[in-house]
Amino acid sequence: MAQGQMAPGIVAGRLSSDELTSNFTDLHPPLAPHEAAVAADRCYFCYDAPCVTACPTDIDIPLFIRQIQAGQPQAAGRTIFQQNILGGMCARVCPTETLCEEACVRETAEGKPVEIGRLQRFATDDLMSAGAHPFERAASTGKTVAVVGAGPAGLACAHRLAMLGHDVVIHEGKPKPGGLNEYGIAAYKSTNNFAQAEVDWLLKIGGITVETGSVLGESISLDGLVENYDAVFLSIGLAGVNALHADGVDKDGVRDAVDFISDVRQAGDLAQLPVGRNVVVIGGGMTAVDAAIKSKLLGAENVTIAYRRGRDAMGASRYEQDLAASHGVQILTNVQPVAVRGNGAATEIELEYTSSQNGQLTGTGEMVRLRADQVLKAIGQTLEGAPEGLKLDGNKIAVSGAGRTSVAGVWAGGDCAAGGEDLTVTAVAEGRDAAMDIHATLVS
């Protein structure tokens, strides 16, 4: 639904500015120095630490925690950034509860892991606040690399290449760099314009130029990039949204959850942002949870996540599911949408209960209707705009090794590439590793 064509039940200003400011504060406030010291003291500093194995970017977690314990948070920050240059954002948004913290020996023994994510934020924030960039750029190699997409994978790739002495041009279609960190991360996880502050800090390495409004397939082409650069890295994300196969999805009040989240992230005044009174979010992943919680924080009275399978099959972790529930979001499982009802604008959604027969999802014929003046679709995204000539694996770009595509001189990583999980931390690892492979190729 276009801006300005809001359904009657979708209005702005459901809460006061003060209430909204309170609602959208940090989900996990930063640790004070004494709190970080206490948290660091809980680490066993394991040999062959399982938390490191569980980290997609292979951060030496025991080392950086020991550095915090020794009163050297900036040294800890450098340890983190050596492996993950977006360690500040990952500390805020990474699902540590299913990665490093789930693998923590303290979690296994006591059910309470070392607070790795918050300790990582403590260290990275301390080093970033110092202002100076922790790494120096190597002597120029004379090679130029095009990075398409300024999301986590593209930024990580660009930074590592620049650090190794290459000149990098990032082509970004949106007005701001950052990708999902800027447009798709829950506003209560990344506050105070942190995404842009992190990009500005990252660019201090030098050797990186960002060109916004530069769209693959429109203002630039893959053939042109291959011709004009020594290498190309594609990190174009997943711009398409899967279709919701139900009657009435064209009614006012029905929209994509990713667009809703982006609007919240870019809003100058949350009090001017419209939200429904009764919101239903279709889907079971992180996007669904973020959209549902944001709806509640904006003042929606009733918010329901409707997912077609059981809770154990949801893409969102149990922690995120519980977070949604703690904000008053109802999670309704084993239901699939049949129709959005209403005369022009949504007023209800009709759902059918489902069951799984031999792994196949089927409808039971039993129906339920929920009030819904706003329906947010969070049913997954798909690749759009992949250049012709690239081999695909399903609906993503096929890659081998450290992101090599079927086209010579072209690498890919992040959500657009096949093989990895759709996580910020995974995208960073793929961008970093592709940069190392590109570097080895260019200097050989």
Does 50 map to a domain?
Answer: yes
Give 34's contacts (C-beta < 8 A, 6+ positions apart). none
DSSP states of 40-64 as a string?
HHT----TT-HHHHH-TT---HHHH
Give 198's contacts (C-beta < 8 A, 6+ positions apart). 86, 88, 89, 128, 178, 181
Do 283 and 367 sit in the same domain of this protein?
yes
Do 160 and 222 sit in the same domain of this protein?
yes
CATH number for position 103: 1.10.1060.10
pTM of the entire predicted model: 0.94
Does 6 map to a domain?
Answer: no
3-state secondary structure of 240: strand
Of 74, 99, 129, the one marking the end of a domain is 129
Do 280 and 336 sit in the same domain of this protein?
yes
pLDDT band at 145 (very low <50, low <70, confident <90, very high): very high
Note the pLDDT tens digit of each residue in 302-359: 999 999 999 999 999 999 999 999 999 999 999 999 999 999 999 999 999 999 888 7
The rounded distance, in Å, linking the Cα atoms of 49 and 106 is 12
| Alpha helix segments (H runs only) across 55-193 | 61-69, 73-83, 87-93, 100-103, 105-110, 116-129, 152-163, 180-183
Does 388 map to a domain?
Answer: yes
Q: In this predicted structure, what is the pLDDT of residue 5?
A: 53
Q: In this predicted structure, what is the pLDDT of residue 3?
A: 42
Does 9 map to a domain?
Answer: no
Do 168 and 191 sit in the same domain of this protein?
yes
Does 8 map to a domain?
Answer: no
Of 338, 355, 377, the one marking the end of a domain is 377
Q: Taking residues 369-375, what's their average pLDDT? A: 97
Does 137 map to a domain?
Answer: no
Looking at the predicted structure, is the pLDDT value of residue 1 above 80? no
The rounded distance, in Å, linking the Cα atoms of 227 and 206 is 24
Note the pLDDT tens digit of each residue in 23-64: 999 888 899 999 999 999 999 999 899 999 999 999 999 999
Q: Which amino acid is at 418?
A: A
- Containing domain of residue 331, as a range? 17-24+242-377
Residues 74/131, Cβ–Cβ less than 8 Å: no
Q: Taking residues 255-276, what's their average pLDDT? A: 94
Q: Where are the beta strands (DSSP E) in 167-207?
A: 167-172
Do 370 and 387 sit in the same domain of this protein?
no
Do 161 and 85 sit in the same domain of this protein?
no
Number of domains in the chain: 3
- The share of the chain scoring above pLDDT 70, in percent, equals 99
Q: Taking residues 81-103, what's their average pLDDT? A: 96
Q: What angle separates helix 286-297 from helix 257-266, to the nearest 10 degrees?
A: 50
Q: In this predicted structure, what is the pLDDT of residue 337?
A: 97
CATH number for position 220: 3.50.50.60
Do 93 and 66 sit in the same domain of this protein?
yes
Residues 288/378, Cβ–Cβ less than 8 Å: yes
The structure tokens listed for 188 are: 């209560």
Residues 306/278, Cβ–Cβ less than 8 Å: no
Cα-Cα end-to-end distance for the chain = 52
Does 350 map to a domain?
Answer: yes
Residues 188/291, Cβ–Cβ less than 8 Å: no
Neighbours of 79 (CB within 10 A): 24
Residues 334/353, Cβ–Cβ less than 8 Å: yes
Looking at the predicted structure, is the pLDDT value of residue 432 above 60? yes
Do 371 and 255 sit in the same domain of this protein?
yes
The structure tokens listed for 300 are: 């929606």
Looking at the predicted structure, is the pLDDT value of residue 6 above 80? no
Q: Taking residues 272-284, what's their average pLDDT? A: 97
The number of angstroms, rounded, from the C-alpha of 393 to the middle of its chain's C-alpha atoms is 22
Residues 333/310, Cβ–Cβ less than 8 Å: yes
Do 43 and 167 sit in the same domain of this protein?
no
Do 361 and 269 sit in the same domain of this protein?
yes
Q: Which amino acid is at 12?
A: A
Do 291 and 312 sit in the same domain of this protein?
yes
Does 139 map to a domain?
Answer: no
Note the pLDDT tens digit of each residue in 213-265: 999 999 999 999 999 999 999 999 998 888 899 999 999 999 999 999 999 99
Of 377, 393, 423, the one marking the end of a domain is 377
- The share of the chain scoring above pLDDT 90, in percent, equals 88
Do 162 and 225 sit in the same domain of this protein?
yes
The structure tokens listed for 19 are: 């209430």
